[in-house]
Amino acid sequence: MKDCIFCKIIAGEIPSAKAYEDDDILIIADINPQAARHYLMMPKKHYSDITDMGAADPAALGKMFEKLASLTDKLGLGNGFRIVSNKGEDGCQSVNHLHIHILGGEKLSEKMG
Ligand code: AMP
Ligand code: ZN
């Protein structure tokens, strides 16, 4: 999608630190990490947020989590992690291309909000 920063990253027009890539999924390091390890997992196809993809293609959304389960050790997340996907204004979503934050690599705060 035009003017979508993550579509530009997926297209290779903007550089990123790629941790995993296949035909459907990209995982990059967040540019402003909020934990020792902070990744963004996103579908290559543009969806505006998690409910958009969940409604349109729940099987593909499930496959992303299946893939994540197979990658946790490689990503340095073997001791656990937290996933967050912000949606909309109250969720403070700032990039309108679905992305799932994966935070770990250290003991995280118990506070989430
Ligand atoms: P959200 O606020 O949930 O929409 O999250 C957007 C995330 O994208 C933030 O954590 C940003 O640090 C991250 N981000 C923005 N631009 C880039 C970029 N070019 N490369 C990697 N991460 C980015
Ligand atoms: Zn996009």
pLDDT in tens, 9-34: 999 999 999 999 999 999 999 999 99
Residue 22, domain member (yes or no) = yes
- pLDDT value at position 5? 98
- For range 102-107, the mean pLDDT: 98
CA pair distance 96, 1, nearest whole angstrom:
11
The answer to whether the CB of 30 is under 6 A from ligand 1 is yes
C-alpha 92 – ligand 2 centre gap (Å): 17
What's residue 1's pLDDT? 81
CA distances from 88 to 40, 50, 59, 61, 100 (A): 17, 10, 23, 19, 14
**Residue 95: inside a domain, yes or no?**
yes
Tens digits of residue pLDDT in 47-91: 999 999 999 999 999 999 999 999 999 999 999 999 999 999 999
| pTM of the full structure | 0.97
pLDDT for the residue numbered 53? 98
Q: Which atom of ligand 1 is nearest to the CA of 85?
A: 3
Residue 104 CB-half CA count within 13 A: 15
Domain that holds residue 51: 5-104
Q: Does ligand 1 come within 6 angstroms of the Cβ of 5? A: yes
The size of the chain, in residues, is 113
**97 C-alpha to center of ligand 2: Å?**
5
Q: How many domains does the chain have?
A: 1
- Given a contact cutoff of 8 angstroms between Cβ atoms, the answer to whether 17 and 33 are in contact is no
Indicate which CATH number applies to the domain containing 36.
3.30.428.10
